[in-house]
Amino acid sequence: MRGALQAAIDKANLNGLESANTGLWAESAEYPLYYEASGDTPIIDRPKADGMPGAFMQSDLLAKIGAFIQARSDTFTIRSYGSSREQFGSEDGSRAYYEMVVQRTPAYVDLGNDAYEDAALDVNQEFGRKYEIKSQRWVAADEI
């Protein structure tokens, strides 16, 4: 009933000692945030000081890094190697190394599906998300 970042903040005891019921986690300062369907049993208790100045929340962290993160975007470095052989021998004639950095974006290959939807179109089910080439270069052998 809390995000991964908030769970990590709580586990790190940044807002008080959760396990010792002191600080912002003092028993008298908690209120039930969510209830079971019956309405009697609280699922999770949160301190009343949540969101007040001085209480560190996942929203504080996301406000700082939010401009730099992207959902469903991963960056990959792909390196490739090619060689040719001498016509009448088994030795390599020449070699080439190439590197490309690609990023998976949130958008599907076919823009008929919005990025936040499940892939409904066949092409999106087969190929998924778009990739953008961020950089490419020839690589020297001693960089491998």
* Selection from 82, 79, 81, 75 nearest residue 133 by Cα: 75
Q: Confidence class of residue 109 from pLDDT cuts 50, 70 and 90?
A: very high
Q: How far apart are the first and last CA of the chain?
A: 46
- Biggest alpha carbon–alpha carbon distance for the chain: 86
Count of other CB atoms within 10 angstroms of residue 98: 13
SS3 content of the chain, % helix, strand, coil (to 5): 25, 35, 40
What does DSSP assign to residue 8? H
Model pTM?
A: 0.46
Could you read off the pLDDT of 34-79 as tens digits, one per residue? 566 666 666 666 666 677 787 888 989 988 888 777 666 688 899 9
